Amino acid sequence: MFCADMKRPTEASERTGANVVRGMTEQLLVATVDTALMAQNVAVAAESEGLGICYIGGIRNNPQQISDLLRLPAHVYPVFGMCLGYPEHDPEVKPRLSVEAILKEDYYTEDGEQVEAFDTTMQAYYQARSSSNKDTDWSHNLKPLFDNKLRPICAIS
């Protein structure tokens, strides 16, 4: 389980006499990104030793239950879990959005054509994979993230 810790840095700042202002978006971003970077380092190290990994974002469906289970103090929150283990067989490699669509040089460029091509690639992947076949593409898979309030319990107020 990877948890972002805002308790330690705010308490350290308070010990210096700082007038700590809590609840800032920047604090949330820094803590969450630091946690994700740590997890990615763990993933790279694990994979270099032949372990398989799987991120588990579903823990954010019930953050309070997870926090209670782990006895997390106030200002420490679960970001995601990670399963590690030796795979029984080589997993299928999931296609990724092209570097040209993600990497921008000097200025932002539109990437509609790359996204359309990736949708076609992902639809073929989802239909052909050996388990959990589904009839969708990348754009339609993203729809629930933006169509409704996803995990409103995690909303920033």
> What's the pLDDT score for residue 111?
86
**What does the alpha-carbon distance between residue 6 and residue 34 come to, in Å, rounded to a whole number?**
11
Using 50 as the pLDDT threshold, list the residues of the chain that sit under it.
156-157
Burial 67-95, CB ≥16 within 10 A → b, else e: beeeebeebbbbbbbeeeeeeeeeeeeee
> What's the pLDDT score for residue 152?
65
Q: Which residues contact 41 (CB under 8 A, 6 or more apart)?
A: none
- Where do the domains of the chain lie? 1-91, 94-157
The whole-chain average pLDDT of the chain stands at 90
> What's the pLDDT score for residue 144?
82
Which strands sit side by side in the sheet containing 76-85, from one edge to the other? 2-5, 76-85, 52-56
DSSP alpha helices (H): ranges in 75-128? 99-102, 112-128
Q: What is the CATH number of domain 1-91?
A: 3.40.109.10
> What's the pLDDT score for residue 52?
93
